[in-house]
Amino acid sequence: MKKISVYRPTSIEEAIQILSLHGTDAGVYAGGTDLLIRLKNRLKQAPTFLVDIKKIGNLRYIKETPQGGVQIGALTKLAEIAESDVLAKKYPMLVQAFKMISSPELRNASTLGGDLLQEVWCQYLRGAYSCWRNGGYICYGAIGDNSYYHSAMGGRLCYAVYPGDAAPALITLDATVKIAGPSGIKEMSVEQLVPGDMMVDGRIQSHVVRFNEILTEVVIPPPNAGFRASFEKLRPRGVWDFAMASAALGLQLRDRTIEDARVVFGGIAGKPYRERAVEAFLKEKTLSADLANQALAAALANAAPLKYNATKIDMAKGLLASGLDKLAAS
Amino acid sequence: MRYSRRDFLKATAGSGLIALTTGSDGVVAAFAAPPVPIPTPMTKETATFNINGRNYQAEYEARTTLWEVIAVKLGLTGTNRSCNRASCGACSVLLDGTPFYSCHTLAMEAVGKKIFTVEGLGDEKNLHPMQKIGYLYMAADCGFCTPGWEVTAKGLLDKNLNPSVDEVKSALAGHICRCAAYSAIIRTVIDTGKVLRGEAEL
């Protein structure tokens, strides 16, 4: 593993000061499940200075807001979210999605903030090929084996898919995040947080958090009456693997009529792919067994699969259909 | 009173570092960081590890993983490391009763926690019921993944002595057995629960 030095700040201000001092040589270390692989494979973008934010006391919590929503600290373990009674009562779909992330041991280690801001899991990047993200000038996924974790919806430089499952589920719930930086606290939606491959601070990354900023909190608005959601995921191994395709679905119902819809696909594009065509199609429709077939015709019309991954589009459409069928049957 | 250029520079330096940052929206915000001394980072330290109830002293680097401390530095070689990439589960240990991959946990995370490895389960003179039943059912074929799933199954049985097949499957989902002894492993865990509950005799 790469040689590292670890800082253990006790406040967010101190952590931001250390991050500002070292620039992109420093990185935030919380659960470490993603970071340690980058260090073990000695990637260019693996930091030399780790800032262990676990000593900062007030970042690990799940609490209800007075309005009825939920605030989740960024250091909350995925297992704690998957087993939370509060979340299971308010947002059953979120708990269902978190139970499908990774394996039990990794859910005990990894944190919510880390899942949202994780690096892509392209085999070329993780194998320390010198690709765009690793300091090179080529995307091996676009020309090589791209059957598993590469974008089927086109790309700019990097064709790796955004691997997380937390982000699609949270976008469906209209969640927002809080980011602490040197100039104060920023708020943005989860959709704005992960806009796909971006050049930030001279590095290509999937999120917009800068080198001296720390994601501190995820805020989920209160659930409306009549809101139904489902989360579907398909992966090569039934556990541990990242989604080849996932579909998070949220419908705001009045009786059986759909007032508002959220359709977010994960694992098929460089960002959680919100399919607004299907959302517009579903509006004012009545939830019925036949609706899934009609929705499929509107879904993913601008797909641009690479040589080996056209099947991801079929998977995503199938997951959308099974999600809609489940919601129609319930 | 006269101000010289030197006095001005001194005063600026004394008031703390002026850091310039560019927000992602393009706004340049200037602020004076409080003159707090930044501590030196940890690269190497010595700490006490509580493994199976015994305390061990070990010196480790910041990059040392928990498996390297347990098996290489302290010589408790029961815990196997296979993939070193948090995929296979052979290196699992319990930290305060919760399973973790020890190849993918930095050693500093385990300081101050109770570590449980397969050596705490039993030895050849005094086998744990799970090890006896696993031996009868041939749940260990080559035996390389065995320390990992036994430790995770112990963590499950400590919380739930009567797990269903699905609960065992989801608890042991993070383990790969290349000999594919999965059905025997699941039967072992369920029957160990029966023995520990006192419903069956060995």
| pLDDT value of position B3 | 54
Q: Which of chain B's residues have a Cβ under 8 Å away from the Cβ of A33?
A: 86, 104
In a domain? residue B148: yes
In a domain? residue A42: no
pLDDT band for position B31 (cuts 50, 70, 90): low
CATH number at residue A316: 3.30.390.50
Q: Which of chain A's residues have a Cβ under 8 Å away from the Cβ of B169?
A: none
Chain B residue nearest residue A54, CA to CA: B109
Mutate to test the interface with B, among A42, A83, A103, A207 (most CBs of B within 10 A): A103
Q: Do B62 and A4 touch (CB under 8 A)?
A: yes
In a domain? residue B153: yes
| pLDDT value of position B34 | 55
Enclosing domain of residue B137: 121-202
pLDDT tens for residues A91-123? 999 999 999 999 999 999 999 999 999 999 999
Q: What total of structural domains would you count in chain A?
A: 1
Chain B residue nearest residue A211, CA to CA: B21
CATH number at residue B152: 1.10.150.120
| pLDDT value of position A8 | 95
Amino acid at B16: G
Q: Do B105 and A109 touch (CB under 8 A)?
A: yes
pLDDT tens for residues B154-197? 999 999 999 999 999 999 999 999 999 999 999 999 999 999 99
In a domain? residue A150: no
More confident residue, A135 or A306: A306
Q: Do A183 and B34 touch (CB under 8 A)?
A: no
- The Cα of B169 is separated from the nearest Cα of chain A by a number of Å equal to 11
Q: Do A212 and B62 touch (CB under 8 A)?
A: no
* Structural tokens at position B182: 């999965």
| pLDDT value of position A308 | 94
| pLDDT value of position B18 | 41
- Among A262, A252, A268, smallest CA distance to A300 is for A268
Asked whether the predicted pLDDT for residue A255 surpasses 50, the reply is yes
In a domain? residue A279: yes
Q: Is A284 on the interface with B (CB under 8 A)?
A: no
| pLDDT value of position B6 | 54
Q: Is A296 on the interface with B (CB under 8 A)?
A: no
- The Cα of B148 is separated from the nearest Cα of chain A by a number of Å equal to 11
Average pLDDT over residues B76-81: 95
Q: Is A127 on the interface with B (CB under 8 A)?
A: no
Q: Which of chain B's residues have a Cβ under 8 Å away from the Cβ of A208?
A: 24
| pLDDT value of position B33 | 55
In a domain? residue B89: no
Average pLDDT over residues B33-39: 70
pLDDT band for position A45 (cuts 50, 70, 90): confident
More confident residue, A80 or B22: A80
pLDDT band for position B13 (cuts 50, 70, 90): very low
In a domain? residue A163: no
| pLDDT value of position B55 | 97
In a domain? residue B88: no
Average pLDDT over residues B120-132: 92
In a domain? residue A235: yes
Looking at chain B, the whole-number percentage of residues with pLDDT higher than 90 is 76
Asked whether the predicted pLDDT for residue B14 surpasses 80, the reply is no
Q: Which of chain A's residues have a Cβ under 8 Å away from the Cβ of B108?
A: 6
Looking at chain B, the whole-number percentage of residues with pLDDT higher than 70 is 82
Element (H, E) at A298: helix A291-298
pLDDT tens for residues A202-237? 889 999 999 999 999 999 999 999 999 999 999 998
In a domain? residue A162: no
In a domain? residue B114: no
Q: Do B42 and A7 touch (CB under 8 A)?
A: yes
- Among A233, A88, A251, smallest CA distance to A163 is for A233
Q: Do A49 and B29 touch (CB under 8 A)?
A: no
| pLDDT value of position B35 | 59
The 3-class secondary structure across chain B, one letter per residue, is CCCCHHHHHHHHHHCCCEEEEECCCCCEEEEECCCCCCCCCECEEEEEEEECCEEEEEEEECCCEHHHHHHHHCCCCCCCCCCCCCCCCCCEEEECCEEEEHHHCEHHHHCCCEEECHHHCCECCECCHHHHHHHHHCCCCCCCCHHHHHHHHHHHHHHCCCCCHHHHHHHCCCCCCCCCCHHHHHHHHHHHHHHHHCCCCC
Strands (E), chain A: 5-7, 26-29, 49-52, 62-64, 70-73, 176-181, 184-189, 198-200, 203-205, 214-220, 227-234, 245-254, 257-266, 273-274
Q: Do A103 and B173 touch (CB under 8 A)?
A: yes
- The Cα of A17 is separated from the nearest Cα of chain B by a number of Å equal to 8
- The Cα of B132 is separated from the nearest Cα of chain A by a number of Å equal to 25
Q: Is A236 on the interface with B (CB under 8 A)?
A: no
| pLDDT value of position B19 | 42
In a domain? residue B144: yes
Enclosing domain of residue A315: 227-329
Q: Do A105 and B29 touch (CB under 8 A)?
A: no
| pLDDT value of position A105 | 95
In a domain? residue B149: yes
In a domain? residue A246: yes
Q: Is A5 on the interface with B (CB under 8 A)?
A: yes
Which of B19, B42, B174 lies closest to A240 in CB terms?
Answer: B174
Q: Do B38 and A1 touch (CB under 8 A)?
A: no
Average pLDDT over residues A249-259: 94
Do residues B23 and A183 make contact, with C-beta atoms less than 8 angstroms apart?
Answer: yes
Asked whether the predicted pLDDT for residue B24 surpasses 60, the reply is no
What does the mean pLDDT of chain A come to? 94
- The Cα of A16 is separated from the nearest Cα of chain B by a number of Å equal to 10
Q: What total of structural domains would you count in chain B?
A: 1
Which residues from B are below 8 Å from A when comparing CB atoms?
19, 21, 23-24, 27, 29, 31, 33-34, 36, 38-39, 41-43, 61-63, 65, 84-87, 89, 92, 98-101, 104-106, 108-109, 152, 170-171, 173-174
- The Cα of A80 is separated from the nearest Cα of chain B by a number of Å equal to 12
In a domain? residue A112: no
Asked whether the predicted pLDDT for residue B124 surpasses 90, the reply is no
More confident residue, A265 or A154: A265
- The Cα of B170 is separated from the nearest Cα of chain A by a number of Å equal to 8
